[in-house]
Amino acid sequence: MDNFHGKVVVITGGAGGLGLEFAKLAAGLGMKLVLADVQRDALDTAKAALEAAGADVLALPCDVRKSEQVQALADAAMARHGAVHLLFNNAGVGSGGLIWENSEADWEWVLGVNLWGVIHGVRIFTKLMLDCAKADPAYRGHIVNTASMAGLQNAPAMGVYNVSKHAVVSLAETLYHDLQLVGAPIGTSVLCPYFVPTGIHQSQRNRPDDVRASARPTASQRASQAMTDKAVAAGKISAAQVAAITFDAIRAGQFYIYSHPQALGGVQEQMQAIITQNNPPDPYRAAPHIRDMLRAGLKDGQG
């Protein structure tokens, strides 16, 4: 897909972070925007700012954990525009701590947004986009699923998040092969950002009541949060830069998209360990200060 003007883009998690930067860039390319987010006030603010800049914006509150809300988003996009050309399954939340200390509510929340949100998006919008292609021989579409570098590696004290993002990578790769199998005019990509200042590290502020944490954070959860806060704040690649990289990849029909390709050395080490049946390598070997920070946090919490 390389012609964006006048086309329709749907973005989940569109009120901030990467989603908002996707929206700004898409608007600059002349696209019609359909934004979804669970945070209503941020969604209203984003809509007003984009419309003030001349964009055509439809903004809907949407909890992507709920299939009926994602279906309502698709229905609203079709009712307004009659087609969808570009989809960003982008909504995401974060959670950390030792994997056995995560509660059932932690798992339900993170998997609900990060994985089920993408599942609902793929399940509902792919069929819709295939119908659009049948109705228009000139139709070209693309789906971008936001995973993470955590979908390619398994850092300690990030287990729930790692699991959710590995599943998104698997889902996205399968979607690519399935679309190729049927010869669909729809491309797909998986976006794997590393530490980028997007606000995801503060996603607990939007955690719904039905999956609210009932206990105080453990030492490992506090240490993981502190590490993530510091790493994200120190990120040298902005969300706007990642959005530009992503649109370039869409134009090129590129599947794997990375914000920090230099981090792939750890992925290569992990793949080599799998092939040679060695034990998993230390994902923080190149950044031991992060591992040391986590260990210090655990020690402080126990003392």
pLDDT per residue as tens, the chain (303 positions): 999 999 999 999 999 999 999 999 999 999 999 999 999 999 999 999 999 999 999 999 999 999 999 999 999 999 999 999 999 999 999 889 999 999 999 999 999 999 999 999 999 999 999 999 999 999 999 999 999 999 999 999 999 999 999 999 999 999 999 999 999 999 999 999 988 877 665 667 778 888 887 778 888 888 888 888 777 776 679 999 999 999 999 999 999 999 999 889 999 999 999 999 999 999 888 778 888 888 888 877 654
In this structure, are residues 31 and 88 in contact, taking their beta carbons and an 8 Å threshold?
no
Is there a domain that residue 181 lies in?
Answer: yes
β-pairing verdict for 57-61 and 86-89: unpaired
Query: Considering the domain boundaries, does residue 302 fall inside one?
Result: no
The answer to the question of residue 272 being in a domain is no
Phi, psi of 263 (to 5 degrees): -80, -5
Q: Is residue 1 part of a domain?
A: no
Q: Is residue 78 part of a domain?
A: yes
Of the candidates 58, 6, 4, 17, the residue with the CA atom closest to the CA atom of residue 36: 58
Q: Which residues, at least 6 apart from 275, have a Cβ–Cβ distance to it below 8 Å?
A: none
pLDDT at site 302? 59
Asked if the structure places residue 165 within a domain, the reply is yes
From CA 294, how far away is CA 226, in angstroms rounded?
9
Residues 6+ apart with CB under 8 A from 48: none
For the chain, how many structural domains are there in total? 1
Residue 303 lies in a domain: no
Q: What is the CATH number of the domain that holds 33?
A: 3.40.50.720
Give the span between the Cα atoms of 150 and 194, in whole angstroms: 8
Q: Is residue 301 part of a domain?
A: no
Q: Tokens in use for 239?
A: 């969300």
170: amino acid identity, one letter: S
User: Which segments of the chain are extended strands (E)?
Assistant: 8-12, 32-37, 57-61, 86-89, 141-146, 186-192, 256-258
Predicted model pTM: 0.94
Place of tokens 């240490």: 223
Q: Say what the pLDDT of residue 222 is.
A: 87
State the Cα–Cα distance between residues 286 and 105, nearest whole angstrom: 33
Whole-angstrom Cα distance, residue 240 to residue 18? 7
Structural domain harbouring 244 = 8-264
